[in-house]
Structure 1
């Protein structure tokens, strides 16, 4: 598997570091990837 990702950093230290929330955001979403169609699916995780 091979993929490309982009990472962004804040220019100023005044920006709050926890931008995505204390609980994290990854556990709140379902992620689906269709490689054949090159599509990414996102939906809320209701479990």
Structure 2
């Protein structure tokens, strides 16, 4: 869910402010197609419910 937005390239599953704080930890998951990403995992869990 790493997309280009008006606020720049970021994860669209979280607010801009949170992305700015957590980018260093999450960027590697984004570069790897979302594999192992805790944010994407939570999204999928909620979507299945």
TM-score of the aligned structures, taking structure 1 as reference length: 0.24
CA radius of gyration, larger in: 1
Higher fraction of helix: 2
